[in-house]
Amino acid sequence: MSNPQSPQGYLTTHVLDTANGCPGEGIPVALYRLGESRELLVETVTNNDGRCDQPILNKDDFAIGKYELVFSIADYFKGKGANLPEPAFLDDVVLRFAIAEIDQHYHVPLLVSPYSYSTYRGS
């Protein structure tokens, strides 16, 4: 059972480049909390394993609510040599999700190519 006084949960993500079969390294990621306004909480960049070096949201800031992860992928794929139209079909990939339990680990990965993406709640 969750204790609203002491959240223990945290949020992580990673990016997998399905077009090139590798981790998505160097992709800017922003996390927003959605409510009456859209509040920027964190900006970071994925490491050489396609992950962020630390949880994007840790227990100190973890709260029930709606969130949005924004992955800026067009420049990443251009850097990999993809011949993208201008503007790119996918520039920013936006994933909206909710946190319902503050004592859980939420992992939200992005599997992406220049023309498609998918996500799921991982572990």
Question: Average pLDDT in the 17-41 region?
Answer: 97
Q: Is the pLDDT of residue 81 over 90?
A: yes
> What's this model's pTM, rounded to 2 decimal places?
0.91
pLDDT tens digits, one per residue of 40-54: 999 999 999 999 999
* Span between the terminal Cα atoms of the chain, in Å: 19
Report the pLDDT value the prediction gives residue 2, as an integer from 0 to 100.
Answer: 46
Whether domain 10-119 has CATH 3.10.20.90 = no
- In single-letter form, the type of residue at position 109 comes to P
Interval 18-25 mean pLDDT: 98
Residue with tokens 């998918």: 118
pLDDT bucket at 5, cuts 50 / 70 / 90: low
Read off the pLDDT of each residue in 18-33 and give the average, rounded to a whole number.
98
